[in-house]
Amino acid sequence: MIIKDVGFLIAFWGGFSSFFTLWQLCLMQITPFFLAFAAGLYLLEDNSNSAARNPQSALVSLLLACAGYILGFSIVFALMGTSGWGTASYILYNIDDFRTAAAIYITIIALLMALYNFYGSLASSLDKLRMNDDITLFDKPILFRILYLPAGLLLGASFALAYSPCIPPVMSDIMNFAGKPNNALRGFQLLIVYGFGVTLAFSISGSALAILAGYFTERRSVKVTIAYLSSGTLFLMAFLIFTDLMIRYKSFLVGLVLD
């Protein structure tokens, strides 16, 4: 077997392009749940400013969450693939515990989204806590809005733990390379870049869907309904992880095409 360093550009493109090719069948294990999260978060934020509608404010929240998601997913994804360090075997040995923790966190996020949706006045109440306009990003205090970054980071890590990837050719080359102890650091870096490519595609698609949903959804009641559906979709993901049905769900999706 030839062990080769594919380089950062090929690693990035291999991850990014997989979202838009047949390999999306494997990513579909988590794709609809992230898209639901992105649309729900954007509409929640946009809806909270309905009195003085400011889509820019909602977009800032979504982009911060996406940035955290990219970082969290990429790091955990890389750790799970770098067998040369032994991190992959440790995570896989304890994968049930890690996935239980991931399911709990996703449940918390879903619950917070549902509560935020229900108590729509929360955003306007938080606005009253502003000390001065110089430390704000649009409508919310910057210290409050920046929390979307660590929240997205933990969500990305949770998605990576729940994900059971197929092995596209580029990823296969990287994992074979990273499996050698001498190549572990370089392999880890390549897997991070690959994960960055995948999650960047997620974030671009999720943001585009969210913006379109916000543009074509003017009625508050419709936004509220979509936001509830989004949190419900995350509850479903947590349920699939808790019950070990996520892999069967993936097999079902792949089987729809292969059969």
pLDDT, tens digit (0-9, with 9 covering 90-100), for 14-46: 999 999 988 888 888 899 999 999 999 998 887
139 pLDDT higher than 70: no
Residue 221 pLDDT level (bands cut at 50, 70, 90) = confident
Q: What pTM did the predictor assign?
A: 0.85
Average pLDDT, the chain: 84
Contacts of 115 by beta carbon, 8 Å cutoff, 6+ apart: none
Q: Regarding predicted confidence, which is higher, 167 or 232?
A: 232
Average pLDDT over residues 171-180: 86
Written as six digits, the tokens of 186 are 């370089």
pLDDT at 151: 94
pLDDT at 223: 83
pLDDT at 53: 52
Compute how many other C-beta atoms are within 10 angstroms of the C-beta atom of residue 251. Answer: 13
Per DSSP, 53 falls in state -
pLDDT at 129: 47
Written as six digits, the tokens of 131 are 């000390």
Distance set, CA 129 to CA 15, 51, 96, 245 (Å): 42, 18, 41, 43
135 pLDDT higher than 70: no
Q: Regarding predicted confidence, which is higher, 88 or 36?
A: 36
DSSP count for the chain of H helices, then E strands = 13, 2
Residue 79 pLDDT level (bands cut at 50, 70, 90) = very high
Residue 234 pLDDT level (bands cut at 50, 70, 90) = very high
pLDDT at 120: 65
225 pLDDT higher than 60: yes
Spatial contact of 103 and 242, defined as CB atoms under 8 Å apart: yes
Average pLDDT over residues 180-191: 89
pLDDT at 259: 56
251 pLDDT higher than 80: no
pLDDT at 67: 97
